[in-house]
Structures are given as structure tokens and as C-alpha cells.
Amino acid sequence: MSEFEFLDRMTEPNTTKIVMLILDGLGGLPRTPDGLTELESAKRPNMDALAKRSSLGLTIPVAPGITPGSGPGHLGIFGYDPIVHEIGRGALEALGIDFDLRPDDIAARGNFCTMNPDGTISDRRAGRLPTPIAMKVARILNSITVEGAQIFVEPVKEHRFALILRGDGLGSNVTETDPLKTGVAPLQSAGKDLPSEKTAAIVNEFVKKAHAALEEESPANGILLRGFDKLPVLPKYQDIFKLNPAAIAINGMYKGVARLAGMQILPVIGTSIADEFTSLEHYWNDYDFFYIHIKQTDTAGEDGDFDRKVRVIEEVDALLPRILALNPDVLIISGDHSSPAVLKFHSWHPVPTLLYSAYARPDGINEFGERACQHGSLGILLAKNVMPIALANAHRIAKYGA
Amino acid sequence: MSEFEFLDRMTEPNTTKIVMLILDGLGGLPRTPDGLTELESAKRPNMDALAKRSSLGLTIPVAPGITPGSGPGHLGIFGYDPIVHEIGRGALEALGIDFDLRPDDIAARGNFCTMNPDGTISDRRAGRLPTPIAMKVARILNSITVEGAQIFVEPVKEHRFALILRGDGLGSNVTETDPLKTGVAPLQSAGKDLPSEKTAAIVNEFVKKAHAALEEESPANGILLRGFDKLPVLPKYQDIFKLNPAAIAINGMYKGVARLAGMQILPVIGTSIADEFTSLEHYWNDYDFFYIHIKQTDTAGEDGDFDRKVRVIEEVDALLPRILALNPDVLIISGDHSSPAVLKFHSWHPVPTLLYSAYARPDGINEFGERACQHGSLGILLAKNVMPIALANAHRIAKYGA
């Protein structure tokens, strides 16, 4: 049976509302073996009070031992199998800079590079080009036209940019121009099927014109392209879950991944966590599923700033009554992965997860933390299994069989 | 996606070291409902100290409710799905007696049997022939030659022996000569494909010559063959896990199974547990994964000797500092299955498992035992999922997606 065939058949509409509050990189590690994690260290009276009335567990975002990027981590907690639905690097790069990537667009990751007079590469990153210069060079490339596609060159950071091709009948199955080493010339792109041959021809023509246009721009006198792909097509929340979903996020990548699931991206006036909660209140009557993304926990974790991650969690805890005042039928608090401050990086550790509803079986646990959740009745489960449990608690899954 | 396609893609080399210490049949049962298991009864200060800094769990070797033999039990904790990779009985019999079974050898289990003058079987086990006599009869059979294959007859115990055919282009898809009842003649072997027809012809020729050679050897005047197979070909640790693995074991079967995974079998001078640890120390710099097999826990469990199993665990605990002194990046302590002394047999019960690394999330549990592990953050998991978590803790798995 295909991934959602059974669930699609079992879900049914209702008027109940589900809120999924994702603290990015929520899971952590103690600073010493006998210490507390970031979440365990935080003062979280509201989360703890909610834990008493909730089912708890630890979620595995992708598979045991796998450290997910933000894309796969979100797909998991959204209910998808992140191994089945892979989001390519090019598409993620475009989503990450808030580019409005459309379903048929071809996206690639680009580097500005330095070329020798003989056409070989001398530096794959153009000396880590300063971002302002990259923006200027990108403007030059954006003036290039090639027949068959509209071309967008979007600077990302330093030498990195995103290339997007928009046109009819373009395939994404093309080879990369980046040889991944210096001393050789960039590669010609080749298509592995007919629509992709069309893409490869456009790519090669664009690279040729780009190198001509950048002749005087050393160290950024060349470009390298890799990770060509389209957005994956995901089964939509409207279909598989019978939900009318919305997303509240500040950063582009999260909006992009939410859009893949069929979520409407809601405006947020401002960039604070409180601003996101204001958006939730404003649109409360218009949707029945709300994903709220809190970026700051992950940023603190990646910065290795244990105390700041604790403070972000405390800030969310203090704001939690504003969500509870809306009386959601189901409230999930979780993360897309762990980002322990001691590792300064995403990690494979399972993520503390809380599922509140009037019908959740309380676990007899009075706090929300990694080690509390490990004893919870949700168990240690794949993240993709959380949504069906949330739907059940929202009375949105029919009885199976008689 | 096939079994290791995803993991193979995600693993990457590193210089970190992983030790997997397997106490065969580690899991147990209490003697009375309110008693302690063998592991819980043992004095294990070193394991308990390590547990405080480790993630704990209970591993299911094959599938819920399945009691594994040593072969499947090991495949599970080695990271393979033991249902996908089946090791046949003939191959296991040969591995179990330390026979150097090669990838293309055909192995079968043999019985010496007693034949009536009319060619029918009167006793399928030749009165459970004493082993010394079986060794003598095996020597007679070893002098038989048949064109197309080199033939090895290796006594196992009492009436049991292993038959190995070594030759070019032999298939293992042949029918058994053992009719599994008395009063009828042995069956002719038949091949189900062309290479196996070649094998069947050799088998039938060999049986004919064997019966002639054993004419005067009643009660061992006949042979019965069953369970023809080759060694399975397993994806190797070198490929799927990017590890350079070695195995330390005293008994043949464990070496054989380890070899299937690509492990180098290390010499052990002596047969004690301490001797095995000496081998680990000696070869520490030459490999990055070490499997150490402790047989004595299982033997005590199968003998129904609760107290002896406790003492073996205490012996391992006392030696544990020798492993810790080597500073492995990851240390797994587990078993291939349970062998509760009260059952005197392998069992289906999940196996206490400890995973130590500097990056393991400590579970807040201060002891290593069945009931302690049931509360651990590894959860109750299939044994095959332990290796990916170990690789993650050894920083040997790349981030998935961006």
C-alpha cells in the first residue's frame, strides 16, 4: 500500500483545530553527563502544566542515527517519510532565500569561482567572495537572457547563489558543471532524458554567456552549478488529512517546506516570537491546522549558546498561554530535530514531543523534557507517526472496520 | 529502497573507534516473579557507572516474539535484517565447527544412519553414534573422491556431520536425501537448476560410494543429507558502514558470521575472556570497529546455571576497565539474544543494550539491567537499528538534506 493510501481513506473532516508548535532544534544534551539539557534547564511552568494533561514521547525525525537538515526534519514531523520525499539541495537553497519557487522551476546551487586565463578553475569559491560583491555580480548575470527559459540568479551568502530556470518542459535530470576540484575546466551539463537535454542546453548557453559577462570581474569571473532539481510534489494536507492548513514562519525555507504540504503561508507583522503568536490569533478562525515555526532555538543551538537556547525556550513558555487561550483541540509541541548547544550542530538525538488534547491519555509525568518524554506513552516513535495521533485526538479519523 | 541503499549513501569514514561487546544470550529472567534476572543479580559496578553516561534500551534481535539462533541473533545486532539475510543450516553447521567455508562452497548437514539390508532406513541417527566412532567413519568418507568437487566430511557431534562440496559452478538448489522417516530408502537428490543439477549428480555419486564404503560399519552404514546451501553474501561493513572491522571470538560460528560482515578475525592466545581483551588491546590501532564475543553467558544460560551466568557477567564487568582504558568513541554492550537460565534455551525476550559515547544522551538511569534498559532513551528497538545510532555517535553519518 502506498504511503498515504490507508490514512487518506481513514481521515475525515471536522471543525476541530490542531496547532503544531515547532521549536527548531529543540532536543539537546546536558553539558556534563549528570547535568540537564537546555529544555530541562529552562523554567517552563506552562509547558510542565500542559505535560500533566498530555501524552509525551521522543520522536525520531528520519530514521535511527540520522541527523536531518531542516527540510527532512520538517517533513518528518509534518507526517511524511523524509526518505521517500527528498528535497534536493538546489530547491532548498532557493526556498531558503525566500524565493517563490514554483512546481516546475529548475533550481541549482551556484558558486562564483575564479578561472585561470586558460579556462581552468583556480578557486572554486572565488576567495569566499564578500556578499556585497556577490550581489553586484549576480545583477550582471540577471541581465543575461537565454531562449527557452526565464533565468533568476539569487545571491545567498558569500560565493553562493541560487540559479532558477523557469520555462516550459524543462527536466531536472541534468549533470553538474562543478567538477568539485581545481585545475580543470568546468564541465558541460548533459541531460539524461529529453526534457533534461533541453535544460542542459539552456544551462550550457547561460554558463557561456556568464563567463563572457564576468570576464573583467575576477576573482568572480566564473560560475559552477550543482544540485539541479525541482520541488518534490507532496501529497497535500487537504487531501490526505482533510485539513485546511496554515503556516506561521519568519524564514523562507520553512515557508517553502510548509507550502509543499499545502499550507497557506500567513503574514507575520514583525519578526519576534510574540509577532508569530499575534498572527496565529489573527487568523485563528480561518484555518483548522496551524504550524508555527520558532527558529531561535536552533540558531542558539548551532551557535553553541546553551544559555540563549534556554532563554528562547523560556520565552516560548511564557507566551504559551496565548495559544492555550484559543482553546485548540490538539496542541503538539516538538522540534524538527535536535540541535544540542554542546554539539553546535543538528544531531540525530530523538526530540521531546508533547501532544495535548482533552482526549490524550495523561502519562502521569509532570514535566516536559528529554528524559521525561522518554517515559511517555507515545514512546520513542518516528516523527511521521505524530500527525495520525493528532488527527485521532481531533476526531478526524474514522473507525477502521466494524 | 533496498536495505542499505540509504545508509550506504549517508555513512562516511572517520578515525573514530567503535567497540561492540556481545555477551551471548545476555538477556535473562528472574527465578521468581519478584526476583532479579541474571544481569540484575550480578555485581556490575563498572557497567553501572557506564550506564549513567550512556543511552539504554532493549533490542529485539529479529522480530517481536522470535527466538533467534546465534546466526540470526548476530546478524541483527550487526545491523542486518536477519529475515532478509538467512544463513542456512548447512552453512551454519560448517561455520559452527570452525570449517573455513568459502563463498562458493556447498554445505549440508549430514546424519550417519543405520540401513536395513533392503536399503531402507532403520534408524535415522544410527543409535546416536558415539562421537569417536563418528570421527572414524568420517575418515572413511573423506577418502572418497567424486569428479567435479573436492569433498569434506567433518564430524560435528554424535551422529551429526557436515558435508562440504568445493568445486566450480555448483548450485545449492538441490533436494535433500533425508526422507525424515524410517522404513523407506534415502531419496535421490535432484537439482532445480542447471548448476544445481551438477551438484545433485555429485551428491548422488558420493552417497552411492559412501554406502559401499560403510557396508561393514553398522550401525553407521548409511548417510542422510539435508539443508544444502551456500553462505549468504552480505553487504560488507567496509562498504555500507565505511568501517575497517575486526572480530574477537573463540568459537567458530561467531567467527564465521563475523567474516560474512567483512570482519577480519583476530587471533586470540588462549580461550578466556581476559585473553580476548588482550587481543583487543594488541590490535587496537589496526581497526576501527571491534566485535568481541563472550560465549560463556549463553553456555551457562543453556545449562540452566543461573549462578554461573551471574559469575560470567561479573567477570566481564571486572574486565571492562581494560576496554574503557582504550578510550573507544562508542561502546555497545548487548547480546545477540536472551538465554534465561530458567528456560535453559535461547528466548525471544528483548536484550538489555547500552550505548556509550561522549555524545550519547544520558538517560538518568544508573544501572544496567533488563528493567533499567526498558526505561532508556533507545527505547525498545530492533537490534538492526543499533549500528546506525553507533555510527552517528562516532560521527560517521553525514547530515541528511539541508
pLDDT score recorded for residue A267: 96
Residues B292 and B378 reside in one and the same domain: yes
Over residues B234-244, the mean pLDDT reads 97
Q: Tell me: the pLDDT tens digits for A372-395? A: 999 999 999 999 999 999 999 999
In a domain? residue A400: no
Report the alpha-carbon distance of residue A206 to residue A146 in Å, rounded. 6
Residues B103 and B135 reside in one and the same domain: yes
Residues A42 and A130 reside in one and the same domain: no
In a domain? residue A178: yes
B1 has a pLDDT exceeding 70: no
Over residues A18-33, the mean pLDDT reads 97
Among B10, B375, B381, select the one facing A66 at the smallest CB separation.
B10
In a domain? residue B402: no
Residues A100 and A176 reside in one and the same domain: yes
State the pLDDT confidence band at A37, using cuts at 50, 70 and 90. Answer: very high
Chain A nearest C-alpha distance from B338 (Å)? 22
A262 has a pLDDT exceeding 80: yes
Domain final residue, candidates B200, B229, B258: B229
User: Distances in Å between the alpha carbon of B251 and those of B25, B138, B154?
Assistant: 15, 22, 16
In a domain? residue A381: yes
Report the alpha-carbon distance of residue A73 to residue B402 in Å, rounded. 9
Domains held by chain B: number: 2
Chain B nearest C-alpha distance from A34 (Å)? 8
Report the alpha-carbon distance of residue A151 to residue A233 in Å, rounded. 22
Report the alpha-carbon distance of residue A85 to residue A258 in Å, rounded. 14
Of the candidates A263, A267, A257, A265, the one whose C-alpha atom is nearest the C-alpha of residue A243 is: A263
Report CB contact under 8 Å: A67, B363: no
User: If you compute the radius of gyration of chain B from its CA atoms, what whole number of angstroms results?
Assistant: 23
Q: At B273, phi and psi to the nearest 5?
A: -60, -40
Task: Select the residue from A374, A380, A381, A382 to test the B interface by mutation, using most B Cβ atoms within 10 A.
Answer: A374
Report CB contact under 8 Å: A65, B361: no
Domain final residue, candidates B173, B204, B229: B229
Residues A365 and A253 reside in one and the same domain: yes
pLDDT score recorded for residue A346: 97
Range of the domain at B151: 92-229
Burial tier of B161 (Cβ tally within 10 Å: 0-12, 13-18, 19+): buried
Report the alpha-carbon distance of residue B139 to residue B153 in Å, rounded. 8
Residues A256 and A380 reside in one and the same domain: yes
Nearest CA in chain A to B54: A33
Among A37, A92, A347, select the one facing B401 at the smallest CB separation.
A92
Amino acid identity for residue A210 in this structure: A
B402 has a pLDDT exceeding 80: no
Over residues B346-369, the mean pLDDT reads 97
* Contact list, A93 vs chain B (CB under 8 Å): 402
In a domain? residue A399: no
Q: Dihedral of CA B134/B137/B141/B142: which sign?
A: positive
**DSSP one-letter code for A367:** -
A402 has a pLDDT exceeding 90: no
Report the alpha-carbon distance of residue B362 to residue A288 in Å, rounded. 38
Among B1, B380, B400, select the one facing A62 at the smallest CB separation.
B400
Residues A250 and A211 reside in one and the same domain: no
Report CB contact under 8 Å: A65, B375: no
Q: Dihedral of CA A308/A310/A311/A312: which sign?
A: positive
pTM, two decimal places: 0.89
Q: Tell me: the pLDDT tens digits for B383-394? A: 999 999 999 999
Mean pLDDT of the residues in chain A = 95
Residues B277 and B388 reside in one and the same domain: yes
Report the alpha-carbon distance of residue B245 to residue B260 in Å, rounded. 11
Report CB contact under 8 Å: B52, A68: no
A35 has a pLDDT exceeding 70: yes
Residue A293 sits in a domain whose CATH number is 3.40.720.10
Residues A224 and A239 reside in one and the same domain: no
pLDDT score recorded for residue A392: 98
Whether the Cβ atoms of residue B171 and residue B164 lie closer than 8 Å to each other: no
Among B362, B376, B389, select the one facing A65 at the smallest CB separation.
B389
Report the alpha-carbon distance of residue B216 to residue B203 in Å, rounded. 21
State the pLDDT confidence band at B98, using cuts at 50, 70 and 90. Answer: confident
pLDDT score recorded for residue A232: 87
- For A107, the enclosing helix (H) or strand (E) is strand A106-115
In a domain? residue B342: yes
Domain final residue, candidates B202, B229, B256: B229
Mean pLDDT of the residues in chain B = 95
Q: Tell me: the pLDDT tens digits for A124-149? A: 999 999 999 999 999 999 999 999 99
Residues A81 and A108 reside in one and the same domain: no
Residues B191 and B276 reside in one and the same domain: no
In a domain? residue A290: yes
Residues B376 and B257 reside in one and the same domain: yes
B2 has a pLDDT exceeding 80: no
B181 vs A98, residue with greater confidence? B181
pLDDT score recorded for residue A175: 95
DSSP per-residue letters across A52-103: TTEEEEEEESSSTT--B-HHHHHHHHHT--TTTSPPPHHHHHHHHTT----T
Chain A nearest C-alpha distance from B2 (Å)? 12
Among B378, B380, B401, select the one facing A72 at the smallest CB separation.
B401
In a domain? residue A401: no
Q: Tell me: the pLDDT tens digits for A293-349? A: 999 999 999 999 999 999 999 999 999 999 999 999 999 999 999 999 999 999 999
